[in-house]
Amino acid sequence: METRNLVKRFGSFVANDRLNLQIGKGEIHAILGENGAGKSTLMNMLSGLLTPDEGEIIYKGRPVRFGSPREAMESGIGMVHQHFMLIPALTVAENVILGMKQGSGPWYRHTKACEDIKRISHSFGLDVDPEKRVSELSVGQQQRVEIVKTLYRGAEFIIMDEPTAVLTPPEVEDLFRVLRSLKAQGKTIVFISHKLKEVEAICDRVTVLRAGQLAASSAMTDSNAAELARVMVGRDIAPPAARPPLEGRAELLSVSGLSCRLSGVQVLQDLSLDLREGEILGIAGVDGNGQRELCEALMGLSAGQVSGSIRVRGEPVAKPHPRAMTEAGVGYIPEDRHREGLMLPMSIGENLIAKEYRKPTFSRWFTLSRKRIRQAAKAAVEDYRIKTPSIDHAVSKLSGGNQQKVILARELMLRPKVLLAMQPTRGMDVGAADDVHQRLLAERKDGCGILLVSTELEEVFALADRIAVMYKGRIVHTVDRAEADMELIGLRMAGL
């Protein structure tokens, strides 16, 4: 596969500018780049979702032009999207077959489909049960179904868009095992990511895009993570420096005996923690061990039965409610920014005021001040370097990292005393994640106590003053960062 001078424009914006790219057969090729660098545009052209404005794509020595994903698929190019394209109510086999002809005639041959799927999944070490409904599968398993789907359609060339973004560390290991076995059998894989560690671990060659242009392309053996990060961002990313602990700190948040039952499952068990002024308490743990339920219980958003006591700045909170917590000075960055953090069709300004619209700054006599809202939006766009065509644009038009900046701007506008930050950099590139980290550290310096929930251990280690490990709804291990041992924490996360 090769591309020559590939150009794609949206209006007068050039998303891909004369890209020349060579991808050899049987290699795992990483495409790195920040959000908005043009990775998705490039991949959408390779997989037939978009057609290039200029230049050509050469596949197996012949120039090709795909009018649709189906045409690309017929040539053997398959794509695994970041957000899976599966129908939860159908079985694995039905999902794999969907939209395909199976031999001749209009019938769906269930047994044959299941056999084929078993055979394919077996030969690549993908363990999927074709009879199961997709809704019963874990995220990692669903991703395997997506891979099987492309293989079943005869893909030789598989494009994977940020495949690890949704996976837990053990699932990532599994995925890598599968990728190696695909490679061993001569499949070519394009691996889009912005996680350098993973690229380093699995890829043979790496291509870096920056602002729509090719910034570098080299064999992985000739490069290293630090250099790639520099090329990708266009500046040096220094790891956050060690910080002196603050003395004489008051207690901001104290939780004791917090339990929560959600549809018959004990999701939190007798959990206690405390958070002091100017401290970042990192909650480490594999996704789904009660982190989400902890934050929801603290914010009064839990659908389950919650018991235990919560004190904010010494004041007991009898019945937590999002507004009461906001008024008590607690900010909250929810895990799922699309579902819980933003009203996507609204503008930046209208999203910024979502917690403060009642205050005299933004409304008087129940009437919103449009001027003040625009001013706040303008200030946030400048202050947080939010990339947007104009401040009146809907938040849905922003990239994920910029959307997260809108949320961060909103929460920090409240001048919170306590900040619950759940996965604040999930799905963000190195540069944008670094911006978020710097903001959090600045808040800490001002005396804010931050509860940082992250499934990325490195992030916890980089930011936290103390680290607590959650496992099955309990805190099983708490340690100062200075004395923390990554290996021990890894074991505790696994419940050992």
Partner 1 sequence: MPGNKLAARAVTVSIETLFYLIAIAVSLLAGALVMAAAGVSPWEAYQLIWKGAAGSSGALKETLVKATPLLFAGLSYTFAYRCGLFNIGAEGQIYIGALMGTMSALLLPSMPIYIHLPLALFCGLLGGALWGGIAGALKVGRGASEIINTIMLNYVAIFLISYMVTGPMKEAGGSLPQSASLPDSAVLPQLLGSRLHYGFFLAILTAIIIYWVLERTTWGYQIRSAGYNKRAAEVMGMPVKRNMLLVMMVSGSLAGLGGYVEIAGVQHRLMQNFSPGFGYDGIAVALLGNTHPIGNVLSALLFGGMRSGANAMQRVTGASTSLVYVIQAIMIIVMVCNRYWLGGTKKRLREWLIRKLDKTTGTIEAGAAGSLEI
Q: Identify the residue among 48, 334, 401, 424 touching partner 1 (CB under 8 A).
A: 334
* Cβ burial, residue 69 (10 Å; 0-12/13-18/19+): middle
Could you tell me which stretch among 10-18, 172-180, 284-292, 413-421 binds partner 1 (CB under 8 A)?
10-18
Could you tell me which stretch among 38-46, 111-119, 163-171, 464-472 binds partner 1 (CB under 8 A)?
38-46
Q: Distances in Å between the alpha carbon of 231 and those of 16, 38, 216, 235, 240?
A: 17, 15, 7, 7, 19
Q: Identify the residue among 339, 482, 483, 487 touching partner 1 (CB under 8 A).
A: 339
Distance CA 455, CA 211 (A): 29
Taking the least distance from each CB to partner 1, the nearer of 75 and 369 is 369
Taking the least distance from each CB to partner 1, the nearer of 70 and 358 is 358
Angle between helices 139-152 and 169-184 (to 10 degrees): 20
Task: Kindly state whether residue 363 participates in binding partner 1, applying the rule CB under 8 A.
Answer: yes
Task: Kindly state whether residue 40 participates in binding partner 1, applying the rule CB under 8 A.
Answer: yes
Could you tell me which stretch among 146-154, 166-174, 257-265, 357-365 binds partner 1 (CB under 8 A)?
357-365
Q: Identify the residue among 12, 104, 221, 263 touching partner 1 (CB under 8 A).
A: 12
Taking the least distance from each CB to partner 1, the nearer of 293 and 350 is 350
Taking the least distance from each CB to partner 1, the nearer of 38 and 449 is 38
Task: Kindly state whether residue 328 participates in binding partner 1, applying the rule CB under 8 A.
Answer: no
Q: Please state whether 495 falls in left (phi above 0), alpha (psi between -120 and 50) or beta.
A: left
Task: Report, in angstroms and rounded to the nearest whole number, the Rg of the chain calculated over CA atoms.
Answer: 24
Q: Identify the residue among 216, 225, 246, 346 touching partner 1 (CB under 8 A).
A: 346
Task: Kindly state whether residue 299 participates in binding partner 1, applying the rule CB under 8 A.
Answer: yes
> Least distance (Å) from partner 1 to the CB of residue 409?
14
181 neighbors 26 (Cβ within 8 angstroms): no
Could you tell me which stretch among 85-93, 236-244, 306-314, 358-366 binds partner 1 (CB under 8 A)?
358-366
Q: Identify the residue among 328, 344, 462, 479 touching partner 1 (CB under 8 A).
A: 344
Task: Kindly state whether residue 385 participates in binding partner 1, applying the rule CB under 8 A.
Answer: no
Q: Identify the residue among 1, 28, 31, 38 touching partner 1 (CB under 8 A).
A: 38
Task: Kindly state whether residue 325 participates in binding partner 1, applying the rule CB under 8 A.
Answer: yes
Task: Kindly state whether residue 237 participates in binding partner 1, applying the rule CB under 8 A.
Answer: no
410 neighbors 354 (Cβ within 8 angstroms): yes
Could you tell me which stretch among 56-64, 156-164, 213-221, 317-325 binds partner 1 (CB under 8 A)?
317-325
Count of residues that interact with partner 1, criterion CB under 8 A: 42
Q: Identify the residue among 64, 90, 216, 301 touching partner 1 (CB under 8 A).
A: 301
Q: How many CB atoms are located within 10 Å of the residue 76 CB?
A: 17
Task: Kindly state whether residue 389 participates in binding partner 1, applying the rule CB under 8 A.
Answer: yes
> Least distance (Å) from partner 1 to the CB of residue 47?
16
Task: Kindly state whether residue 13 participates in binding partner 1, applying the rule CB under 8 A.
Answer: yes
Task: Kindly state whether residue 15 participates in binding partner 1, applying the rule CB under 8 A.
Answer: yes
Task: Kindly state whether residue 368 participates in binding partner 1, applying the rule CB under 8 A.
Answer: yes
Could you tell me which stretch among 33-41, 136-144, 189-197, 256-264 binds partner 1 (CB under 8 A)?
33-41
Residues that bind partner 1 (CB under 8 A): 10-13, 15, 36, 38, 40-41, 299, 301, 321-326, 332, 334, 339-346, 350, 353-355, 357-358, 363, 366-368, 370, 389-390, 397, 399
